[in-house]
A and B are shown apart, each in its own frame.
Chain A
Amino acid sequence: MSNNTRRLLRGIGLVCALALGATACGGSDDGGSGDKKVSAGDIQAALKKGGSITVWAWEPTLKQVVEDFEKDHPKVHVNLVNAGTNKDQYTALQNAISAKKGVPDVAQIEYYALGQFALTKSLDNLSGYGADKLAKTYSPGPWNSVKTGDAVYALPMDSGPMALFYNKKVFDKYKIAVPTTWDEYVEAARKLHKADPKAYITSDTGDAGFTTSMLWQAGSRPYKVSDDGTKVGINFSDKGAATYTKTWQKLIDEKLLAPVNGWTDDWYKGLGNGDIATLVTGAWMPANFVSGVKNASGDWRVAPMPQWTKGDKTTAENGGSSLALPAAGKNKELAYAFVEYANAGKGVQTRLKGGAFPATTKDLQSKAFQDTEFPYFGGQKANKIFADSAANVGRGWSYLPYQVYANSIFNDSVGKAYVSHTPLAKGLKAWQDASVKYGKEQGFTVSQ
């Protein structure tokens, strides 16, 4: 019951903040939902004073960043916790926020999941910390993903402009040309599987993140979200979606996709021994190749993402995450200082060295970055392709404010297309219906 009272009070606080503007309510410094104003001076003072913060993240390059940060600020202790990867961490974070206990000061959140946390006022608006001045620092894609209206809910950590990773050894062996369009991709898939029945062009058992990115590239814009986040539109029957399903259905029907779930041992094995010959994914992938598929070093290369129309250059984003400050966290000044250090300050270079892909314009365009040779890809300057992709990401895409939930039920509906005779388009329609139902139950105004 006290729980309820607290919720009510928070609600009143919220209404108050909305009606009178951020500063008028005041008095709720301990994790309220109001917009906090913190000056650069406050942050410097906090860094001098010291303290400790907890960071929940699974991004491997942050470990070095934490060490450097602690070296620069000896009185600050950063407790870096891996609370699970993406969905698992969001569940843990959501539970901690509901319980108002054990909430981290900083949390890694992917772009597609930010809306859900922002909408429930679980994150601090970082504009009050000076984050709004960083607009020029980041490339437009990631920056638009972290802000809603004037509010900035996180600082972009990396981005995932998509590219085609392919096993050159396999392609050379069977004399297959690297596909530049999706039609060529299907042709390559047929040729490869015919030449070696154990080899597949790629693996796909139904992955929400991949499917939405493919729709994105194909020009589909299934989700529409109003600025305040309360009205959403969901519709998978536009032209772009039809373009995608028509082609992908061929790969499914002709059994040209390896039935291997992503990120499993089997999957890594397939990437290593040539059974899975390509991977269309975000530019954050190289670090995973280096650590997970060591034995295939030198076999793989990077090419631009295949296109729907020959000569086009449109791409999409896949994955990419940010660092945010949960509203119920403590030590806000230190937390923001860390986030800024890691995502806009010295930490960016450290993470680039570790193989991360930047969201910062300066680094993306720097000659040093673009000329970096990847020994894993046979010395190829792969960053040129990634940077090119980042510049050509299709505009106007948005995720649902409850995309985490929608993705969690993706395989219930669309998954059927991969294991039965349900057409992909029908699966998407069922996913749409389930997402609409949930949206309505949660009080959204949903149109289709």
Chain B
Amino acid sequence: MTTLQPPAAVDRTARPSLKRDRRSWTGWGFVGPFVAVFALVFLAPIGYSIYLSLFRDRLIGGNTFVGLDNYQQALQDDQFWAGVTRVGLFLLVQVPIMLGIALLVALALDSGRLYGKNFFRISIFLPYAVPAVVATLMWAFMYGTRFGLVGDINDAFGVSLPDPLSPDLILASIGNIVTWEFVGYNMLIFYSALRVIPHSLYEAAEIDGAGQLRVITAIKLPAIRGALVIATIFSIIGSFQLFNEPSILKPLAPNAVTTDYTPNYYTYTLSFNGQQHNYSATVAIVMGLITMVIAYVVQLRGMRKGA
């Protein structure tokens, strides 16, 4: 697998042990640099997190080995599960909306019936180029009922719009920001997948008398299923890792965004405010496992349909 076999006839009689030795070393030589970097930046942090999660460092009593106690605690931690439920809800509502819009835009661009196609493509992609921090701050000021766009609308029309930063609406407000940021990115994935579909298929469809809708459902969508699955998996991971938006909105809506708002925010609070590094590592690992399982299930399902 790692090296080419020498021509079989020549070396049959050579000492096999020596040859096997040399072969394995050559292989390692090629893989070595990768393995070293992989181990250093990928395996070592995970290993260290797992190591950390087996201890408990307390203000009183110091650092002790506690085995799987932290995991047991995490599984029964209401704050953690409330966060998981929240991002789960976010995932179920926001991701379909975002991918739906992205798909519509990509199909519209691909249809070739749009004037100013390049302009639309760039302007829809542009929000992705805005750093998440800037985007969130920008939206936060628009959301403000006292100083922002919402406040101005209220004043100008004498209405009283609901406060987007209130506890009931803030998750939707965050969803709006994330959608705005990532529609362009997903659109580009879909659009580039659409561009590689052979034109002969469309011509064949036209000869068969298929309309645009039929072309979309019978040719375009099946052809970009791979891209759809990938985009969905990225979005799932993105939702579970929700952190920037709530943490930036926190100073503006201190009572709506709690310190355990999302699992990532919770681990941040545990670690940096509570000095509970061990438990924080545990929560991070559990969340990582949940994300992996869900992403894997989606991939399996998506690919099976595609086959």
Residues of A close to B60: CB separation below 8 A: 119, 230, 442-444
Residues of B close to A408: CB separation below 8 A: 259, 269, 273-274
The complex places the Cα of A358 from the Cα of B182 at a distance, in Å, of 53
Any B CB within 8 A of the CB of A137: no
Residues of B close to A261: CB separation below 8 A: 251-252, 254
The reply to whether B255 and A411 form a contact with Cβ atoms under 8 Å apart is yes
Contact with B along A80-122 (1 / 0, CB 8 A): 0000000100010011001000000000000000001001100
Any A CB within 8 A of the CB of B258: yes
Residues of B close to A206: CB separation below 8 A: 254-255
The complex places the Cα of A94 from the Cα of B255 at a distance, in Å, of 25
Any B CB within 8 A of the CB of A404: yes
With known contacts A411-B258, A443-B58, A266–B147 Cβ distance under 8 A: yes
**A252 nearest CB across to chain B (Å):** 12
Partner of A91 from the list B58, B63, B259, B273 (CB cut-off 8 Å) is: B273
The reply to whether A411 and B147 form a contact with Cβ atoms under 8 Å apart is no
The complex places the Cα of A443 from the Cα of B61 at a distance, in Å, of 6
Partner of B276 from the list A87, A230, A441 (CB cut-off 8 Å) is: A441
Any A CB within 8 A of the CB of B23: no
Any B CB within 8 A of the CB of A402: yes
Residues of A close to B58: CB separation below 8 A: 441-443
The complex places the Cα of A30 from the Cα of B275 at a distance, in Å, of 24
Of B147, B251, B254, B260, which is in contact with the most chain A CB atoms at under 10 Å from its CB?
A: B254
Contact with A along B246-285 (1 / 0, CB 8 A): 0000011011101110000000010011111001000000
A367-425 interface (Cβ within 8 A of B): 401-402, 404-405, 408-409, 411-412, 415-416, 418-420
The complex places the Cα of A63 from the Cα of B146 at a distance, in Å, of 36
Residues of A close to B255: CB separation below 8 A: 205-206, 411, 415-416, 418-419
Any A CB within 8 A of the CB of B16: no
Residues of B close to A266: CB separation below 8 A: 146-147
Of B62, B63, B166, B274, which is in contact with the most chain A CB atoms at under 10 Å from its CB?
A: B274
Any A CB within 8 A of the CB of B10: no
The reply to whether A412 and B260 form a contact with Cβ atoms under 8 Å apart is yes
Contact with A along B134-174 (1 / 0, CB 8 A): 00000000000011000000000000000000110000000
Residues of A close to B260: CB separation below 8 A: 412
The reply to whether B254 and A401 form a contact with Cβ atoms under 8 Å apart is no
Interface bin, chain A: 35 or more
The reply to whether B62 and A7 form a contact with Cβ atoms under 8 Å apart is yes
The complex places the Cα of A385 from the Cα of B257 at a distance, in Å, of 38
Any A CB within 8 A of the CB of B59: yes
Residues of A close to B279: CB separation below 8 A: 441
Residues of A close to B146: CB separation below 8 A: 259-260, 266
Partner of B273 from the list A259, A264, A404, A415 (CB cut-off 8 Å) is: A404
**Chain B residue total in the interface (Cβ 8 A):** 25
**A419 nearest CB across to chain B (Å):** 5
**B227 nearest CB across to chain A (Å):** 40
The complex places the Cα of A60 from the Cα of B190 at a distance, in Å, of 54
Residues of A close to B254: CB separation below 8 A: 205-206, 261, 411, 415
**A210 nearest CB across to chain B (Å):** 13
A116 — nearest CB in chain B belongs to which residue? B59
Any B CB within 8 A of the CB of A4: yes
The complex places the Cα of A444 from the Cα of B59 at a distance, in Å, of 8
**A240 nearest CB across to chain B (Å):** 24
B208-261 interface (Cβ within 8 A of A): 251-252, 254-256, 258-260
**A104 nearest CB across to chain B (Å):** 18
B59 — nearest CB in chain A belongs to which residue? A442
Any B CB within 8 A of the CB of A438: yes
The reply to whether B251 and A120 form a contact with Cβ atoms under 8 Å apart is no
B58-105 interface (Cβ within 8 A of A): 58-63
B258 — nearest CB in chain A belongs to which residue? A412
The reply to whether A120 and B59 form a contact with Cβ atoms under 8 Å apart is yes
Of A94, A408, A412, A420, which is in contact with the most chain B CB atoms at under 10 Å from its CB?
A: A412
B116-146 interface (Cβ within 8 A of A): 146
B56 — nearest CB in chain A belongs to which residue? A441
A419 — nearest CB in chain B belongs to which residue? B255
A442 — nearest CB in chain B belongs to which residue? B59
The reply to whether A420 and B167 form a contact with Cβ atoms under 8 Å apart is yes
The complex places the Cα of A438 from the Cα of B167 at a distance, in Å, of 25
The complex places the Cα of A419 from the Cα of B72 at a distance, in Å, of 33
B261 — nearest CB in chain A belongs to which residue? A412
The complex places the Cα of A113 from the Cα of B161 at a distance, in Å, of 41
A434 — nearest CB in chain B belongs to which residue? B79
With known contacts A408-B259, A408-B269, A419-B255, A11–B274 Cβ distance under 8 A: no
A4 — nearest CB in chain B belongs to which residue? B63
The complex places the Cα of A8 from the Cα of B269 at a distance, in Å, of 27
Partner of B272 from the list A91, A205, A442, A444 (CB cut-off 8 Å) is: A91
Which chain A residues have a beta carbon within 8 Å of chain B's beta carbons? 4, 7, 11, 87, 91, 94-95, 98, 116, 119-120, 205-206, 230, 259-261, 264-266, 401-402, 404-405, 408-409, 411-412, 415-416, 418-420, 438, 441-444
Query: 6 nearest interchain CB pairs?
Result: A415-B255, A443-B60, A443-B61, A443-B58, A412-B258, A408-B273
Given A119-B60, A206-B255, 12 new contacts (CB under 8 A): A7-B63, A11-B62, A91-B272, A94-B275, A120-B59, A230-B60, A401-B59, A409-B269, A415-B254, A416-B167, A418-B255, A419-B255
| 20 intermolecular pairs with C-beta atoms under 8 Å apart | A91-B273, A94-B272, A95-B272, A205-B254, A264-B251, A401-B59, A402-B59, A408-B259, A408-B269, A408-B273, A409-B259, A409-B273, A411-B255, A412-B258, A412-B259, A415-B254, A419-B167, A419-B255, A441-B276, A443-B61
